[in-house]
Amino acid sequence: MERKIIYELKSLYRDSFRVTGFEFGQGEKSACIVGALRGNEVQQLYTCSQLVRALKRLEAEGHVREGKSILVIPSVNTHSMNIKKRFWPTDNTDINRMFPGYDLGETTQRIAAGLFETIKDYKNGIQFASFYIPGVFVPHVRMMKTGYENVDMAREFGLPYIVLREPRPYDTTTLNYNWQVWESNAFSLYAGTTDRIDYGDVTLSVNAVLNFLRKEDIIEHSAFVHEGYIASVVEESALVHVQTAAAGIIDRFVAPGTNVTRGDVLSCVLDPYDGSVRSEIVAPADGVVFFAQEEPLVYANAAVYRLIRG
């Protein structure tokens, strides 16, 4: 294992900003795994740390294939993580909306450019991503339908679901999209939570990446991996959105992965002053809870669940 500085930005008044990577093996740029691009992605950071730990042991035992190299970058936005802020501290910009970057631009554009220059030529790119709404997902692989997506390769992770979605205009500046444009096989892995650690989902996510690396013949050992699930392919547009009818404190009864029947009460919205029930949130269809919002306070007409229709 070689620990290296991927990108460094000098500072006049404090220590330099650095992006650190861990490289395993030598030769072909076979796979790059990127963790926390945002400052609140603690689950993504921790998942990468456990992946580094597993790959370090595999390399020491001689299980990284000769002529293959793997790069793991646990965190990109370390300054934001230090102060528990999701986006860049000084101007609130999102590094994952700055790719492929511009080396003479604003700070986050420069970081994106420096990072992408190093990782754009990897054959396979894996990003541990997070959702814009705070909440919990069933772990899954997500891909944009750019014409470069590869569903068969996505099945190699062994996660329960593969979600396909049409790209929106702002997606053209994300890491995943640009990896695909530069002809990498790009995958976004959603590892359950974001700003807290779910150890079960971490184990599932690490095993998923190792499973993929083994099936792509980048590593040769199965001590840390299993075949996983036979993935179901879901179109994001087919997910059922469940919204609130009233504002208040939400009392949840179901978790992601739960099978529900139409008419089941998923949650109640309570009056924050007297605890009375303002409204019940009811399943509009049979299916599986795919996403649940985690914030304790909700607005009226807010999306709090997404269901995979049964």
179-235 tens-digit pLDDT = 999 999 999 999 889 999 999 999 999 999 999 999 999 999 776 566 788 899 999
Find where tokens 């420069």 sit. Answer: 110
What is the rounded distance in angstroms from the CA atom of residue 149 to the CA atom of residue 126? 13
Mean pLDDT over 236-249 rounds to 96
Bridge partners (DSSP) of residue 18 are 8
Outline where DSSP puts E strands in the chain.
Answer: 2-9, 17-25, 28-36, 68-75, 124-129, 135-137, 140-144, 161-165, 185-190, 232-235, 240-243, 248-252, 259-260, 265-270, 277-282, 287-293, 297-298, 303-309
Opening angle at CA 51, ends 235 and 132, nearest 5: 40
Asked if 139 and 160 count as a contact pair (C-beta separation under 8 A), the reply is: yes
First-last CA distance in the chain: 45
Whether 137 has a pLDDT exceeding 70, the answer reads yes
> Which is higher by pLDDT, 226 or 128?
128
> pLDDT tens-digit profile of 264-273?
999 999 999 9
What CATH architecture is 2-235? 3-Layer(aba) Sandwich (3.40)
Enumerate the β-bridge partners of residue 303: 243
Instruction: Write down the domain spans for the chain.
Output: 2-235, 239-309
In which residue are the tokens 């294939």 written? 65
Determine if the pTM surpasses 0.85: yes
d(CA 268, CA 89): 36
**Residue 165 token pair:** 């979605």
Tens-digit pLDDT profile for residues 19-38: 999 999 999 999 999 999 99
pLDDT in tens, 51-79: 999 999 999 999 999 999 999 999 999 99
pLDDT tens-digit profile of 148-188?
899 999 999 999 999 999 999 989 999 999 999 999 999 99
For 188, the token pair is 């976004």
Task: Please state which of the four CATH numbers 2.40.50.100, 3.40.1280.10, 1.10.3720.10, 3.40.50.150 is assigned to the domain occupying 239-309.
Answer: 2.40.50.100
Predicted confidence at residue 301, as pLDDT, reads 94
